[in-house]
Structure 1
Amino acid sequence: MSSPVAASHNDAADSHSTLVQRTFFTGPDARVADGLYVEVDRERSDRTRTRLVLAPGACASTNTYFGRFAASFWQRYAELASVRLEFDHQISPQPDAVAGPALRVELWASDPSGRQRPLGTTEFANTGHASLDIAIDRFVDGGAVWFDLVALGATVSVSDVRWSIPTPERNRQAAVVVCTHNRPEDCIDTVTALASDEVAMASIASIHIVDQGDQRVADRERFAAMADLLGDKLIYLTQPNLGGAGGFNRGIYELSPGGTTELDIIVMDDDILCEPESVLRMTSFANASMAPVLVGAQMLLLSETSRLHMGAEWEVLDKIKAGEPTAYASNGLNLLENHLDGRSDAGWNGWWSCLLPAEAVNAMSLSLPLFFQWDDIEFGIRARHSGFPTVTLPNAGVWHADFHLKDYDDWSRYFSWRNGMIVSAIHGRFDGTTIAKTVADEIGSHIAAMQYGLAQTLMLAVSDFLAGPSVLDDGGQSKLGELKKLRADYPETLIRPASEVGAQADNNTRIALKGPEPDESKVRLVLAKRLAKQIAGQLNRAPVSIPADSAQWWHVSQFDNAIVTDASQRGVRVRRRDRDTVVRQSRELAALCLRIRSEAPEIQRTWREAMPQLTSRENWKRLFDGE
């Protein structure tokens, strides 16, 4: 042993007796990149999820997304003095045939900038069990801990790698709430993955499935096997579709009879690829924290499993924007090439997987009945203002269906904008002039880009927001039919087969790629000119085809008509200039913006005063009962 910060122990039953993390060597599914768990030469190694075998001379590193221990977050929130790394190791051939040490274990740490420093090296000549203590004392602004392995002249295996800490005062179980709507197979996959991990399930008291669809999870053949795994830990509930907000809040409601709960609650989407280890890490971190915190998992992409989609974010309410990465946080990183070293603070965490401490649930009641989108953000903001911060924990992630493959021109944007404005009014400064400019910029750009159905969708959202809290009386169900009918009047909202459109297109149709983006200081001037030219018809009338990644408004708005690829890559949208619609929608938008400027103080007061009633158990019970 060559380091004062790591010491070898023979007594594994020492004070470090609470498991907080395991090291795995493969993911829970064949789609997951193994490099997220361990970096190793495939030709000189063999692995299972819990065991790694190295040929003589081979090396391996757990300086990976799931392999690291997020030391900075533990030092910041848990005041942790040290963490213990334990593992079993086996050497072949037998030790008496090996000259000298057979296995070297190197401990490493990083700082906020990613610079690496060695913590110590231990060598082993015999098969056995090892434990190493690692000081968590130099990580305030960032940094992680990991270990590397080197096989020294013999075949070695390392298995059952565990990280433990002294047992914290809080040792609370959590309940999981999964909301599902017509994704029965996805839901069963997600819950089964978690239920199959006995260690992760030891920290779970129950799993509530709230089924809001007409394709019931319970009707699937695999439901029985999942139910057998869970036994009396499974609570299966059905109700009408009240969106994600209604599904999650039904679970929270049931778990807090009388308005309080003794369990932390993990809310989880049905369409994720679940890493059960992330649930263990979230619950362990919550228990060890000095004060109650919301603990969220990061979102990774399901189609590109090594890419981080969302890390730590903070809302931007003046822009009606759900979030921007906070300091030291970045979205879209390739995690095989980049590490998350700087400690970032989150303003909230999406409910794709997020632990809500019992104290926060008891203090704040339920979330707003927003149907879906922004309900989780609003709860996180309100929690933060009530003294319960959010930690988006790196090295705890789940894979989610890809948002970049969903086109922005969608009915769901109604909820995104209406709900975003509600949250901005309740928690933001909500300056009428600033919000009016944000609305004008967003909707005006869609009018210019010949996305008339999307523009009308967003104007309905703004109008309903201005109408006040009564718009939430039914929890959002009635809007689904209204939006479908509204958007049916605008042909460019339909996705059409590319082959159908291609056969009808002019033979001279060409691909038109975007040019340079307008200077930020001139964006509004460019938008005004584009709208004026749309009305005057002073546009390029040549038939064009525009790829999805070139479909920005400032490019599309230069043409009289365009075949635009849908972001899903499943088809195209045909956009055609309609002068009368441009004039009508521009006038409607101007009227809405005038209302926002003049009514902002009053509408803000109205929404803020309605908060206690909207989030009350009585209001949610009314919605659950269909009243």
Structure 2
Amino acid sequence: MTSETPHSAPRTPPAPLVLGTWTAPSDSPGGETPHTVTPLWDQALPASVWRGVLGDVEVRLETEGGPAALWAARDGHRRRLATDLSAEHRVRLGPDGPQWLWVEGPVSTVTWSIETSVQLPPITVVVPTRLREDDALTQAERFARMDCVHEVIVVDQGGTLDSSPDFARLLAQRPSIRLITQPNLGGSGGYARGMLEAAATPHHAVLLSDDDAVLSEESLRRMATFQALASTRTIMGAPLFSAERPDRLIALAEAVRDGDFQWHASDGVRSPIDLGGTTPEQWSFLRRRGEPNYTGWWATLFPPGTTADLGLPAPYFLKWDDAEYGLRATEHGYRHVVLPGTSVHHPPWNAYRTQMSWTAKVLHRNRLATAAAHGAGRGVLASSLLHQAKHILSGHLLTAELWEEGIDAVLEGPEEWLSSDLLEARTRSAAVVKAWNRENALPTDLSPTAAAPLRFPEALLRALVTMVRPDGPPGTVITLPADEVHWRSTLGADAVIVTGEDGTPEAAFAVRGPAMRRAAARTLRSHARLARHWRSLSRQYGRALPQHTTTAAWTALLDAASTDDDPGRK
């Protein structure tokens, strides 16, 4: 009698893990996601970055279209690896392998993959918004269409979306979108509320996004894939591009410097860089010069369980909450990676509108509070004093006054403002701006008398003379677009006219000697007090911040701030 040996069915090999897929952009109008003008940014594989989580593996390249060639770059040099690519090609990512791989030629799709598998967690997206109904509607719908997104939590702090017919229709069509309404607690309060709600699904990754930041599904999937492959808990960020000029890279990896406790690039992206017409061997500015220790919350992906591990944001209203959270994460052993080949497009910021508006107070207050809480030395005080000297000499006396208001808050101690001023932070700061403008604003029909900027020696001498002389009518009047207003461009002027993009005057302010002297005396006194009490302040903020970032603390804060008719708390 013959026995038969049972045979098991042949195993199906696992599907390859896709690291990135690029499809040639369509010429049809109305696309939701901008592409960089150089398609190579979206198409190329940053091999050296992926090698950090993959090791020495073989990458499979698949293309459609052609004919095309495969190129590699390392240390600024390029070489061709293959010509007339077939449908599939394999490249090894060895320790001495390429830093970049890319395809040149008329291809319609490019896909990079490896023979492995990894489970990607569902993603919950948190989007705070205030009085920007169209942006919020577009953003929520964009994320809800993504297959990798499980839920979109929109935190409305303006109270307008719950009465919007368009948003009501979107909620009916997309059950994955959840609307929460609460008072305006700033970006910190919006993100904290969303993170608190997202903690109900601790196995989800959590993406924090601005309501006007555009992140493609492909970028988000690449970020999630890299994060899932990393052996160390990793917070992912996306390179920041200009929404107005999609080929302009604004920022990549960033860190807070130890010495002066200020943001800076941890790569070579010191100022915006136009990538149009460039190829990867020219991208040496992306080489890391230090470890990033935070990511901007215009698009940050947290791994599952981050909130339970690290807590919630510092109750700062806005500014420095993302950097403080990143520093906290770094201290807990997290890594920060901003992945080349991904991108988030955001309207560019204007330094003038930040520094000469109410936000300047909370920005400087939060920087000093974060520095104190994280044990920074007195280098941050020297940096603060130096910048105040620049503000005063260049006539940016509103900025100087707002910074002094922030310094006063820090000196009062955390229990005087941390958490308790969220509902009033904007109003109080705006009152300072209103009072200053009432005393110092000039009519915008002044006639310019000099081109800006003045030569530096002359400008510095004029500023010093202005500082010591009595008040008088402006002699040197300059006109500048808002984008060009900084300390160097206004140094030496008696009056500054600020124009919009079309050249129309928007504001004008005087630079008066008596006001400069009062500002200088005030800042010398405040910085002397900071220096004397810095160790004590460090202990106070170091103890207070962990107490104010817990789930219990934020829940109590949100309950106290919420109104009876707040549907988000029902």
Q: TM-score, normalised by structure 1?
A: 0.78
Contact 1:213 1:240 in 2 (8 A): yes
Amino acid at match of 1:535: V
Within the candidate set 290, 307, 329, 2:248 is matched to 307
Contact 2:36 2:246 in 1 (8 A): no
Name 1:384's counterpart in structure 2: 330
2:130 matched to 1:181?
yes
Contact 1:87 1:162 in 2 (8 A): yes
Q: CA offset at residue 475 of structure 1?
A: 5.2
Correspondences of 1:361-376 after superposition (within 5 Å): 361-376=307-322
2:199 matched to 1:256?
yes
Instruction: Give unpaired runs (5+ residues) of structure 1.
Output: 1-12, 39-63, 90-102, 125-129, 151-156
Within the candidate set 105, 110, 114, 1:149 is matched to 105
Q: Which moved more, 1:170-179 or 1:278-287?
A: 170-179
- Separation of aligned partners in 1, 2:272 and 2:132: 26
Q: Which moved more, 1:67-76 or 1:339-348?
A: 339-348
SS of match in other structure, 1:472: coil
Contact 1:73 1:343 in 2 (8 A): no
After superposition, what is the alpha-carbon deviation per residue over 1:28-55, rounded to whole angstroms, capped at 9, x for unaligned? 95697766353xxxxxxxxxxxxxxxxx
After superposition, what is the alpha-carbon deviation per residue over 1:344-364, rounded to whole angstroms, capped at 9, x for unaligned? 242211000011112433321
Contact 1:302 1:399 in 2 (8 A): yes
TM-aligned CA distance change 1:427 to 1:608, over 3 Å:
same
Within the candidate set 253, 266, 271, 2:212 is matched to 271
2:93 matched to 1:136?
yes
Amino acid at match of 2:83: T
Contact 2:357 2:433 in 1 (8 A): no
Amino acid at match of 2:336: T
TM-aligned CA distance change 1:368 to 1:29, over 3 Å:
farther
Name 1:599's counterpart in structure 2: 533
What is the RMSD of the two structures over their aligned residues, measured on CA atoms? Answer: 3.1
2:41 matched to 1:71?
no
Q: CA offset at residue 486 of structure 1?
A: 1.5
Contact 1:492 1:575 in 2 (8 A): no
Contact 1:79 1:290 in 2 (8 A): no
Within the candidate set 480, 495, 499, 1:547 is matched to 480
Name 2:275's counterpart in structure 1: 335
Correspondences of 1:7-156 after superposition (within 5 Å): 15-26=14-25, 36=37, 38=39, 64-79=40-55, 81-88=57-64, 103-111=66-74, 113-123=75-85, 130-138=87-95, 143-149=99-105
2:357 matched to 1:410?
yes
Instruction: Give unpaired runs (5+ residues) of structure 2.
Output: 1-11, 562-570
Q: CA offset at residue 139 of structure 1?
A: 6.2
- Separation of aligned partners in 1, 2:508 and 2:470: 18
Amino acid at match of 1:186: D
Contact 1:26 1:37 in 2 (8 A): no
2:259 matched to 1:324?
no
SS of match in other structure, 1:490: helix
SS of match in other structure, 2:21: strand
- Separation of aligned partners in 1, 2:503 and 2:316: 30
Contact 1:436 1:594 in 2 (8 A): no
2:230 matched to 1:289?
yes
Name 1:395's counterpart in structure 2: 341
Q: Which moved more, 1:305-314 or 1:472-481?
A: 472-481
Contact 2:128 2:211 in 1 (8 A): yes
- Separation of aligned partners in 2, 1:550 and 1:131: 50
SS of match in other structure, 1:235: strand
Q: CA offset at residue 107 of structure 1?
A: 1.7
TM-aligned CA distance change 1:466 to 1:146, over 3 Å:
same
Contact 2:206 2:304 in 1 (8 A): yes
Amino acid at match of 1:203: C
Amino acid at match of 2:199: S
After superposition, what is the alpha-carbon deviation per residue over 1:321-343, rounded to whole angstroms, capped at 9, x for unaligned? 2x211134444110114444544
Amino acid at match of 1:417: H
SS of match in other structure, 1:303: coil
SS of match in other structure, 2:319: coil
Q: CA offset at residue 372 of structure 1?
A: 0.9
After superposition, what is the alpha-carbon deviation per residue over 1:215-252, rounded to whole angstroms, capped at 9, x for unaligned? 32x43343245435533x22221111111111111111
Contact 1:302 1:402 in 2 (8 A): yes
Amino acid at match of 1:172: P
Name 1:455's counterpart in structure 2: 400
Name 2:411's counterpart in structure 1: 466
TM-aligned CA distance change 1:162 to 1:308, over 3 Å:
same
Contact 1:181 1:211 in 2 (8 A): yes
Name 1:55's counterpart in structure 2: none
TM-aligned CA distance change 1:320 to 1:332, over 3 Å:
same
Within the candidate set 137, 155, 160, 1:215 is matched to 160
- Separation of aligned partners in 2, 1:603 and 1:295: 32
Greater share of strand residues, 1 or 2? 1
Correspondences of 1:603-614 after superposition (within 5 Å): 603-614=537-548
SS of match in other structure, 1:402: coil
Contact 1:406 1:567 in 2 (8 A): no
SS of match in other structure, 1:347: coil
Contact 1:78 1:290 in 2 (8 A): no
Amino acid at match of 1:572: E
Q: Which moved more, 1:240-249 or 1:169-178?
A: 169-178
Q: CA offset at residue 459 of structure 1?
A: 0.4
TM-aligned CA distance change 1:426 to 1:587, over 3 Å:
same
- Separation of aligned partners in 2, 1:21 and 1:131: 15
Name 1:54's counterpart in structure 2: none
Name 1:227's counterpart in structure 2: 171
After superposition, what is the alpha-carbon deviation per residue over 1:187-241, rounded to whole angstroms, capped at 9, x for unaligned? 2222222333xxxx3322211111111332x43343245435533x222211111
Name 2:451's counterpart in structure 1: 512
After superposition, what is the alpha-carbon deviation per residue over 1:513-542, rounded to whole angstroms, capped at 9, x for unaligned? 2144469xxx9xx59x83563232499942
Contact 1:453 1:489 in 2 (8 A): no
- Separation of aligned partners in 1, 2:438 and 2:23: 48
Amino acid at match of 1:219: S
After superposition, what is the alpha-carbon deviation per residue over 1:438-472, rounded to whole angstroms, capped at 9, x for unaligned? 22222233233333322211100011011111211
Amino acid at match of 1:178: V
Name 2:466's counterpart in structure 1: 533
Name 2:121's counterpart in structure 1: 172
After superposition, what is the alpha-carbon deviation per residue over 1:383-428, rounded to whole angstroms, capped at 9, x for unaligned? 1121111001111111111113752311111111111111111224
Q: CA offset at residue 587 of structure 1?
A: 2.1
Amino acid at match of 2:76: G
Within the candidate set 538, 561, 566, 2:495 is matched to 561
TM-aligned CA distance change 1:320 to 1:518, over 3 Å:
farther
SS of match in other structure, 1:489: helix
Contact 1:32 1:306 in 2 (8 A): no
SS of match in other structure, 2:245: coil
- Separation of aligned partners in 1, 2:34 and 2:118: 37
Name 1:45's counterpart in structure 2: none
TM-aligned CA distance change 1:334 to 1:37, over 3 Å:
closer
Amino acid at match of 1:256: A
After superposition, what is the alpha-carbon deviation per residue over 1:158-198, rounded to whole angstroms, capped at 9, x for unaligned? 45x433333444432221111111111112222222333xx
SS of match in other structure, 2:239: strand
TM-aligned CA distance change 1:74 to 1:425, over 3 Å:
same
SS of match in other structure, 1:562: strand
Amino acid at match of 2:164: R
TM-aligned CA distance change 1:386 to 1:405, over 3 Å:
closer
TM-aligned CA distance change 1:483 to 1:158, over 3 Å:
closer
Contact 1:16 1:164 in 2 (8 A): no
